[in-house]
Amino acid sequence: MNRLTDRQKQVFEFVRNTILRTGVAPTLREIAAQFRFRSVKAAADHVAALRRKGLLTWTPRQARALQLMAYLPILGGSQTEKTDNASNALPAIRHAVAQLPIYGSIPAGFAQEHAQENKGHVAIDLGLLGIRPTARTFVLEVRGDSMIGRHIVDGDLVVLEHGRTPRNGDVVAALIDNESTLKTFVQERGRQPYLKAENPKYPKLYPANELVIQGVMVGLIRRMKPTAGNPAPRGT
């Protein structure tokens, strides 16, 4: 695999930082505007090169469908498993890799009673996700579709920071009246904060007694689903 050109590195960093900051990928027009390309085709060519080199993936027929592709194997317990793409996926961008604990799943639907469980660890490329994990950083697996408006779907892994004060619009893992859920935190001036779903099928959630923020989302990991004849690696 060829190394990235300077411009490809810049485009990748822009796509990555936009996803981490807003939760969604930039459009080709936004990429073209950022780098003052004369046409959208120039942006499309750079994105195509990044896809060929294994840094980005794209879902057809979806808006803002670019996703980051990193070396993110799921590890069971303390056992480390290597995959063939570990040495090839990111030859031009090397960063430290950290293992974060996966504390079970979280409903992205209606709030539910949910006990925390340890489901092993996930290895993440710190530079690619742009985070600095601490002892309070952890991961939860998403179950449900209430956050699809923020491009968070069933099966995704959300990286959260415990103890961080949420800002208006942050995605949070929360206990609302002792039930667990993943939602957008909304704080309106002079009003009680509440949780907002990013899917019109679900109502806003107002605490009757207590709202406890367990973690603020700082990153998102998407595991690609295996295709027929190409099973997922052991441990995923």
User: What are 81-114's pLDDT values in tens digits?
Assistant: 333 333 333 444 444 566 777 877 888 766 555 5
Is residue 182 packed enough to be buried (19+ CB in 10 Å), middle (13-18) or exposed (0-12)?
Answer: buried
Residue 57 is encoded by which pair of tokens? 């993936």
What pLDDT score was predicted for residue 57? 73
What pLDDT score was predicted for residue 97? 64
- Mean of pLDDT values over 156-177: 91
Is residue 50 packed enough to be buried (19+ CB in 10 Å), middle (13-18) or exposed (0-12)?
Answer: buried
What pLDDT score was predicted for residue 231? 47
Domain residue ranges of the chain, discontinuous segments joined by +: 6-68, 76-221
Provide the angle, in degrees to the nearest 10, between the axes of the packed helices 40-52 and 6-22. Answer: 90
- Mean of pLDDT values over 1-7: 75
CATH class assigned to 6-68: mainly alpha
53 HSE (CA, 13 A, CB side): 19
CATH superfamily of 76-221: Umud Fragment, subunit A (2.10.109.10)
- Mean of pLDDT values over 196-216: 93
pTM for the predicted model, two decimal places = 0.55
H-helix segments, 23-132: 28-35, 40-52, 126-129
Helix, strand, coil fractions of the chain, as percent rounded to 5: 20, 30, 50
Going by C-alpha positions, the residue among 93, 225, 82 that lies closest to residue 153 is: 225
pLDDT band at residue 197 using 50, 70 and 90 as cut-offs: very high
Going by C-alpha positions, the residue among 169, 64, 165, 173 that lies closest to residue 108 is: 173
Residue with tokens 């990193």: 70
What pLDDT score was predicted for residue 232? 43
- Mean of pLDDT values over 8-26: 80
89 HSE (CA, 13 A, CB side): 17
pLDDT band at residue 136 using 50, 70 and 90 as cut-offs: confident
List, for residues 29-86, the tens digit of each pLDDT value: 999 999 999 999 999 999 888 888 777 777 655 566 676 654 333 333 333 333 333 3
- Give catalytic residues, as residue numbers: 146, 183
The answer to whether residues 195 and 211 touch, using CB atoms and an 8 Å cutoff, is: yes
Q: What are the backbone angles phi and psi of residue 81, rounded to the nearest 5°? A: -120, 135
Residue 198: pLDDT over 90:
yes
What pLDDT score was predicted for residue 35? 94
Burial 17-31, CB ≥16 within 10 A → b, else e: ebbbeebebbbbebb
pLDDT band at residue 132 using 50, 70 and 90 as cut-offs: confident
* Lowest mean pLDDT segment, chosen from 1-5, 82-86, 145-149: 82-86
DSSP 173-209: EEEETTEEEEEEEE--TTS--EEE-SSTTS--B--SS
CA dihedral for 121, 125, 130, 134, sign (positive or negative): positive
Residues shown for the chain: 236
For the chain, give the percent of residues with pLDDT over 70.
64
